A and B are shown apart, each in its own frame.
Chain A
Amino acid sequence: NAGVTQTPKFQVLKTGQSMTLQCAQDMNHEYMSWYRQDPGMGLRLIHYSVGAGITDQGEVPNGYNVSRSTTEDFPLRLLSAAPSQTSVYFCASSYSAEPNSPLHFGNGTRLTVT
């Protein structure tokens, strides 16, 4: 069972570069989301999706774009990286919005922007 797969595991970018963090799930989950984890801040929601073609902003969306062309994939794009985007990024998925359907998390991408 692959679950939620995030690539790459580590990435170093220079300020102003762009990149895409990949997230794929093989559980046919409709709901997917991106969080960033910073020391002393917990996890904060960046963007989320309730199904293919539908995305919305979370708590900290600035500087990030997302799209959801398929049920399986939910990439996160940084168009012009900034040092403030140095963080660990987690993708999560869920079968439904019901509380009995827990979130499944990937193992994260550690991004450093210099």
Chain B
Amino acid sequence: GDSVTQMEGPVTLSEEAFLTINCTYTATGYPSLFWYVQYPGEGLQLLLKATKADDKGSNKGFEATYRKETTSFHLEKGSVQVSDSAVYFCALGGGYSTLTFGKGTMLLVSP
């Protein structure tokens, strides 16, 4: 079945550092790929998405490129802020508007 593997955390960075969170997937066909973010005590919010190979999703300085050849969708940001501290989930789209999630990666950014 479909699955998503993302790097384990926590990832601890200083403010303005470069961020990469790795995500790889296994799926039949060519699913849409997503990154969701969860701030403490809240539900998940869509951060960005890509619907086909070589698409780049971007939002709030974050970006990720759908790489079919490496089945990857790594999340990057050039300069993180304290306010980016959250849990990040990579997910792939299934049928009927459902998602298969990775286990999540906690990001902690210190001033």
A residues apposed to B, CB below 8 Å:
4, 31, 33, 35, 40-45, 48, 50, 56, 58, 90, 92, 94, 96-97, 99-103, 105-108
**B82 contacts A by Cβ under 8 Å:** no
| Chain B interface mostly | mixed
- A-B complex: 5 closest residue pairs judged by Cβ atoms: A105-B43, A99-B32, A31-B97, A94-B97, A42-B101
Do A106 and B96 touch (CB < 8 A)? no
Contact surface of B with A, Cβ cutoff 8 Å: 4, 32, 34, 41-46, 49, 51, 89, 93-104
- Beyond A103-B46, A107-B42, A108-B43, whether A41 also contacts B103 by CB under 8 A is yes
A30 to B97, CA, bound (A): 10
Residues of B within 8 A of A35 (CB): 101
Known pairs A33-B97, A97-B96 / 13 extra A-B pairs, C-beta < 8 Å: A31-B96, A42-B89, A42-B103, A42-B104, A43-B99, A44-B101, A45-B99, A90-B44, A96-B97, A97-B95, A97-B97, A102-B34, A103-B46
